[in-house]
Structure 1
Amino acid sequence: MKPILFFLITASFVQAQIPIAPGAELKLAADGYKFTEGPAVDAKGNVYFTDQPNDRILKWSADTGKIEDFMKPAGRSNGLCFDREGKLIACADEKGQLWRIDPETKKVTVLLDNYDKKLFNGPNDVWVDPAGGMYFTDPFYKRDYWQGREKPDQEKQRVYYLPKGAKAPAIAEETLVQPNGIIGSSDGKLLFVADIGAKNTYQYDIAKDGKLTNRKLFCEMGSDGMTRDSAGNIYLTGKGVTVFDKDGKKLGEIPNTESWTANVCFGGKDMKTLFITAMDSLYTVEMSVAGTR
């Protein structure tokens, strides 16, 4: 394990109006993984995250603070999100699939494995809306565990929408360079998509039928993963965590010593702990505002 280092959140972050709890420190919660990704929180505040190169999903317990394997193998799962029925949705890009996992029985249901009879490029991140529909990004990142896949199967890197109960997804957005991180508002009215290829993040209105309308530039920064708090602030990742207010104004940064920060979510029983997946590690920092599920 790395030396346990505590990074004091200095006054500059407070002045920058990032909603970090007074005196909070960035803490190393765990390390020794290969590449951490995809954190998601359940209704009890437990946080699940992936170690994709090692093909496993791990679980941090809100009761004990301990971390244990939840599932291995795990379809090379990347981004995760819980649906409104408490099932874990996983972007299982080993075979280009979208999974629904029962946390109690660990039974896997494959929701999707193709679009127009072609493999997805590689489902990457997913958000479930209040109605139970799922938006997910499908960029192309060549994986060393793929066999014979040198080029993307889909001609475009898209955002798809799977309405609740539907058997096939609809194209929600196909004009982005490389969509990656995705998150929506808790009322289901807004969707945010990071175009990491264009180094921009966009905001959309969500119509009643799930279609995306009124696209506008949210900020000039792409992101690997993202989350949102109850004040409407958006948290983007890459070199540390960068926080923007609901209007796209940069509030400041939460740095760490890792070369890349992949993803972020809120968790814990009060939903006020920010969990950060970065390279081989998991970090936490206490916040003064709660996240949204």
Structure 2
Amino acid sequence: MKKLLLIFMVTVAVMLGASLNADDQIVEANSKVEKLSGDFRFTEGPAWDRNGTLYFSDIPNKTIHAWTSKKGIETFKVLEGSCNGLRFDQAGNLFVCQPVGRAIVKITPEGKQSVVAEKFEGKKLNSPNDLWIDPNGGIYFTDPRYGSMDDLQQSGFHVYYIHPGEKKIERILDNLVKPNGVVGSADGKKLYVTDPGAQKTYVYDITGPGKLENRKLAADAGSDGLELDELGNLYITGDSMRIFNSEAKEIASIPLPERAANMTIGGPDGKTLFITARTGLYSVQLKVSSGSDPFAK
């Protein structure tokens, strides 16, 4: 009995030590989750513009907000088609997933708005949810549907790729239950897709524009949003921010005051984790920078 107890105590000590070491590598010592703003309805899609401003969506209010450390919250754009996932390309264009408008739109730095994708094979998209832009400007996006299932024209919930130049859209994954968050590695070699419908998150090798091979489990859990850090760790959302290493092992967790929907790493030093969580916008200081932004300075 004493021998078994000793083995158990050593095992627990090793597990706790690994977790604490992981936290020490990722989160700044004494760092706390800070609330930047609140009183929203459902925040999503945080995107750092690399010039000092964070943008994020409040889906039910159909509003994209902008936050800076000096001015706080300002309204950037109200969109009739609403807004969810957001991403900036190298030229500073903001790409927006529109769940109500069933489209992806582009907003230029001058404010000009245009539709990038709204149909596949002549049929309306379901409800574009999240997107990631690769180093060549190609766009990966997920197309599930939440809420009403009226007027679904696609054969299911799939993942698509818009080729650079925004002239061709291709369906690249059709074997997931309900894909949601999507993110890729900054070098353009890996794509991560979460499938909360199956409670799994997968990683694929990107072998060409929109070409995915060698699916592997990245986390034995589903998520809403996804993010990568420079060490290759994967961040997934929930009641806490859970962090998985490249071996699909959970190595750290950041407790949160609200259930998180999405996150991005940015900030002036490139090491601030911004979190959209239901009614609030939060941040926490990290020791690592983003591993998903091909255009980071």
Between the two proteins, the alignment pairs up a number of residues equal to 275
* Equivalent in 66, 70, 82 of residue 59 of structure 1: 66
Cα distance in 1 between the residues matched to 2:115 and 2:137? 16
Secondary structure in 1 aligned to 2:172?
A: strand
CA deviations on 1:152-204 (whole Å, 9 max, x unpaired) are 22111100001111423101111000000000000000000000100000000
Q: Give, in angstroms, the shift of residue 228 of structure 1.
A: 0.8
Question: RMSD of the TM alignment (CA)?
Answer: 1.8
TM-score (norm 1): 0.89
Runs of 4+ in 1 over 6 A off after TM superposition: 11-14
In the alignment, what sits opposite 2:160?
A: 160
Amino acid in the other structure paired with 1:220: D
Q: What percent identity do the matched residue pairs reach?
A: 40
Larger helix fraction of residues: 2
Q: Give, in angstroms, the shift of residue 133 of structure 1.
A: 0.2
Which has the greater radius of gyration? Answer: 2
Return 196-205 or 13-22, whichever deviates more: 13-22
The answer to whether the 8 Å contact 2:193/2:201 transfers is yes
Q: Give, in angstroms, the shift of residue 74 of structure 1.
A: 5.5
CA deviations on 1:53-94 (whole Å, 9 max, x unpaired) are 0110011125x2612111013621100111121111100122
In structure 2, the gaps of 5 or more residues are 1-15
CA deviations on 1:7-51 (whole Å, 9 max, x unpaired) are xxxx99971513110110111111011110000111224211000
Cα distance in 1 between the residues matched to 2:192 and 2:229? 13
> Taking structure 1 as reference, are residues 12 and 256 closer, same or farther at Cα in structure 2, changes over 3 Å only?
farther
Cα distance in 1 between the residues matched to 2:98 and 2:288? 31
In the alignment, what sits opposite 2:112?
A: 107
* Equivalent in 94, 104, 115 of residue 88 of structure 1: 94
**Pairs within 5 Å for 1:108-123:** 108-123=113-128
In the alignment, what sits opposite 2:289?
A: 290
The answer to whether the 8 Å contact 2:80/2:101 transfers is no
The answer to whether the 8 Å contact 1:182/1:191 transfers is yes
In the alignment, what sits opposite 1:5?
A: none
Secondary structure in 2 aligned to 1:131?
A: coil
Cα distance in 2 between the residues matched to 1:278 and 1:46? 18
Matched, 1:124 2:124: no
Cα distance in 1 between the residues matched to 2:256 and 2:95? 28
Matched, 1:73 2:79: yes
Return 124-133 or 271-280, whichever deviates more: 271-280
In structure 1, the gaps of 5 or more residues are 1-10, 144-148
In the alignment, what sits opposite 2:56?
A: 49
Secondary structure in 2 aligned to 1:15?
A: helix
Q: Give, in angstroms, the shift of residue 107 of structure 1.
A: 1.3
In the alignment, what sits opposite 1:224?
A: 224
> Taking structure 1 as reference, are residues 217 and 13 closer, same or farther at Cα in structure 2, changes over 3 Å only?
closer
CA deviations on 1:247-266 (whole Å, 9 max, x unpaired) are 221112112122x2100111
